[in-house]
């Protein structure tokens, strides 16, 4: 069966983890981790290129050796290096690495020092508080391990939105190519832009039913056809994601799309509203008695119960029905509204492209400005900039801006917020920048009081502009750290600075609830890609989805402004 980018990335990620267990060369480990991220986020299907006899594209950080492994995995489905590494490690230890948040060093320490060799033993050791005998492990780690193991035993796997998007995009293209297909829509939590997706629900309007079903069940990612009937099929993909396909008549397509988009709470609320009007609403339409009065479009369904159409991202029963009834629904921000990107990296630190390449890629997707915000010196793993190197980059950006057309590069930094609230670089250097993006990259386990004080002190700095990825979460590896976001939002308003919504699918941070909090306080939010490669700008779509879940409109988003207006706003924070 064909191997796709996700499988290749998974192989590279596992190799990196196993090399870490062996305490191999850190540069070799990092090369595999970077390669995994590059391959996973690449839009081009590498296996398809190889099958067609084409050359692999030049990919940042992937030389001849890794390219050869990509070919090996794509053509055979295996990697000899991974097979050898697996044989060298005990099976139980390898399994520990599949738990989110339990890295190679901690996994090996638990295995060696406690004699814990299976997931069941690990669960028992965590519940007995024995993990605390290992240096660096405490109550929080035990709790996370217990939750992860119990979740694996009792709950379906959830997938990051970006992973679901690749599957959904591929299936939609496949099904739209079938003869007689008129409409294809992906519903469920995916359509509502949830951060993670359990399964996919796809609705299709078509004439030739059998051809659609055949095309769907023969999709090359299908591991098992779980059910197939005249109007519905369910498959399990090799990624572990379940996909349900429903063939829906045109006259009820809108009602089915409302129903299967959800959320459950929203559907209950609109069903109750229909009942109050003597109506019944279901996936088959809106009925008065036995007569269907609406169902072909979503707009028709909502109109039948006295409401305007409600955007899918708002359908969480969090005030959207009252807002619709009052004519106060937000006009949600769109991807096309973004004028620029205020958080990007180049190969000067841990990025993979030059500043010019990043600027040209941004211009190609219609952006008119980007901010180069390399890491600062405290983040040594990213080869962060010290004052001397940052000043050199400032001069480089000035030269590039003289020669580039259609795009402006703003001078910035993603400066570490140190544990005491100080910023990682001196004032005389920060003062030469267009913007300063402050970020917490360490000491995540501080108490709520200390973490909040740390961030507020940083925001008080005269050069502070934007608070990056405010909760610090990584999906699904790291939970948000304990921070009083209400206090942070109030302080941002008082100080006149901004909050970032980091669009990287591992983060999607601000949380949607915090987006609403910022909107209500009048604090602008920057939707930024955190791009480390030219193709990372595509992540902006996920940031916009999260912003829409948070009720943000165009005017609530900092980087919808044209450059001249943006510069005015940035100067107010300096």
pLDDT in tens, 212-230: 999 999 998 898 999 998 8
Q: What is the pLDDT of residue 10?
A: 87
Q: Reduce the DSSP state of residue 18 to 3 states and report it.
A: helix
**Which residue would you say has higher pLDDT here, 28 or 2?**
28
Question: Which region among 98-112, 268-282, 374-388, 453-467 has the lowest average model confidence (pLDDT)?
Answer: 98-112
Tell me the pLDDT of the chain averaged across its residues.
92
CA 270/CA 276 separation, integer angstroms:
10
pLDDT tens-place string over residues 534-559: 999 999 999 999 999 999 999 999 99
Model confidence band, residue 240 (pLDDT cutoffs 50, 70, 90): confident
Residue 544 or 36, more confident: 544
Label residue 153 by pLDDT band (50, 70, 90): low
Judged against a pLDDT cut of 90, whether residue 115 lies above it is answered with no
Q: What is the pLDDT of residue 436?
A: 98
Task: List Cβ<8 Å contacts ≥24 apart for 380-385.
Answer: 381/350, 382/349, 382/350, 383/349, 383/350, 384/349, 384/416, 384/424, 385/348, 385/349, 385/413
Average pLDDT over residues 151-168: 81
User: How do 280-282 and 369-375 pair as beta strands?
Assistant: unpaired
* CA nearest neighbour of 151 among 549, 448, 479, 502: 479
For the cut 90, the answer to whether the pLDDT of residue 453 exceeds it is yes
- Model confidence at 2: pLDDT above 70: no
d(CA 555, CA 558): 7
Q: What percent of the chain has pLDDT over 70?
A: 98
d(Cα 448, Cα 488) in Å, to the nearest integer? Answer: 12
pLDDT classification of 148: cutoffs 50, 70, 90: confident
pLDDT band, residue 379 (cuts 50/70/90): confident
Q: How many CB atoms lie within 10 A of CB 223?
A: 13
Contact 349, 383 (CB under 8 A): yes
Q: Which domains does the chain have, with CATH numbers?
A: 5-154 (1.10.150.110), 159-247 (3.30.460.10), 258-325 (3.30.210.10), 335-571 (3.20.20.140)
- Residue 98 predicted with pLDDT over 80: no
**What integer pLDDT is reported at residue 435 of this predicted model?**
97
pLDDT category at 154 given cuts 50, 70, 90 is low
Give the whole-number percent of the chain exceeding pLDDT 90: 67
Instruction: Count Cβ neighbours within 10 Å for each residue of 410-445 and write b for 16 or more, e otherwise.
Output: bbbbbbbbbeebebbbeeebbeebbbbbbbbbeeee
Residue 152 pLDDT > 80: no
Band the pLDDT of 200: cuts 50, 70, 90.
very high
In the prediction, which pLDDT does 290 show? Answer: 94
Residue 382 has pLDDT above 80, yes or no: no
| Residue with the larger pLDDT of the pair 74 and 514 | 514
**Cα 137 to Cα 121, 125, 132, 480, distances in angstroms:** 16, 12, 5, 18
Structural element, H or E, at residue 5: helix 5-21
**CA distance linking residue 525 with residue 556, whole number of Å:** 6
pLDDT of residue 155: 59
What is the separation of C-alpha 249 from the centre of its chain, rounded to a whole number of angstroms? 34
């Amino acid at each position: 069966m064909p191997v796709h980018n996700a499988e290749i990335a998974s192989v590279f990620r596992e190799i990196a983890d196993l090399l870490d267990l062996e305490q191999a060369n850190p540069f070799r480990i990092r090369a595999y981790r970077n390669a995994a991220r590059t391959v996973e986020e690449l839009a081009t299907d590498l296996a398809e290129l190889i099958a067609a006899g084409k050359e692999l594209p030049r990919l940042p950080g992937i030389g001849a050796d890794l390219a050869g492994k990509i070919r090996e995995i794509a053509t055979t489905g295996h990697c000899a290096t991974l097979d050898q590494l697996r044989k060298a490690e005990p099976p139980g230890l390898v399994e520990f690495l599949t738990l989110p948040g339990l890295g190679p060093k901690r996994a090996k320490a638990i295995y060696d020092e406690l004699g814990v060799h299976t997931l069941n033993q690990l669960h028992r050791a965590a519940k007995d508080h024995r993990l605390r005998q290992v240096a660096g492990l405490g109550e929080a780690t035990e709790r996370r391990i217990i939750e992860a193991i119990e979740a694996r035993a009792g709950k379906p796997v959830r997938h990051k939105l970006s992973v679901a998007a690749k599957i959904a995009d591929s299936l939609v293209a496949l099904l739209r190519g079938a003869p007689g297909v008129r409409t294809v829509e992906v519903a469920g939590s995916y359509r509502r832009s949830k951060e993670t997706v359990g399964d996919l629900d796809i609705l299709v309007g078509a004439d030739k039913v059998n051809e659609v079903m055949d095309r769907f069940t023969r999709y090359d990612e299908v591991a098992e056809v779980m059910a197939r009937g005249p109007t519905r099929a369910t498959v399990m993909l090799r990624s572990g994601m379940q996909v349900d396909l429903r063939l829906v008549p045109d006259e009820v397509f809108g009602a089915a799309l409302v129903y299967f988009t959800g959320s459950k709470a929203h559907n209950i609320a609109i069903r109750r509203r229909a009942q109050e009007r003597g109506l019944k609403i279901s996936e088959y339409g809106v009925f008065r008695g036995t007569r269907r009065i609406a169902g072909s479009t979503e707009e028709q369904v909502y109109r039948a119960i006295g409401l305007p159409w409600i955007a899918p991202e708002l359908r969480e029963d969090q005030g959207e029905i009252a807002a619709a009834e009052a004519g106060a629904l937000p006009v949600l921000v769109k991807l096309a509204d973004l004028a620029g990107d205020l958080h990007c990296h180049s190969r000067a630190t841990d990025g993979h492209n030059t500043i010019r390449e990043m600027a040209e890629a941004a211009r190609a997707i219609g952006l008119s400005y980007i901010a180069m915000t390399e890491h600062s010196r405290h983040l040594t793993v990213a080869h962060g900039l010290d004052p001397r190197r940052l000043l050199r980059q400032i001069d480089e950006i000035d030269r590039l801006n003289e020669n580039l057309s259609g795009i402006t590069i703003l001078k910035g930094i993603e400066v570490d917020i140190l544990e005491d609230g100080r910023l990682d670089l001196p004032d005389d250097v920060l003062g030469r920048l267009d913007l300063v993006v402050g970020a917490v990259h360490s000491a995540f386990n501080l108490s709520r009081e200390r973490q909040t004080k740390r961030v507020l002190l940083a925001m008080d700095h005269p050069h502070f502009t934007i608070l990056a990825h405010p909760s610090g979460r990584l999906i699904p590896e790291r939970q948000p750290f304990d921070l009083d976001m209400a206090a942070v939002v109030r302080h941002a308003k008082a100080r006149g600075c901004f909050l970032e919504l980091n669009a990287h699918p591992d983060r999607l941070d601000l949380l949607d609830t915090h987006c609403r909090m910022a909107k209500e306080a009048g604090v602008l939010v920057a939707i930024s890609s955190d791009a480390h490669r030219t193709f990372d700008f595509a992540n902006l779509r996920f940031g916009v989805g999260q912003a829409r879940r948070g009720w943000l409109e165009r005017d609530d988003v900092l980087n919808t402004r044209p450059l001249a207006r943006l510069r005015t706003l940035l100067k107010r924070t300096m």
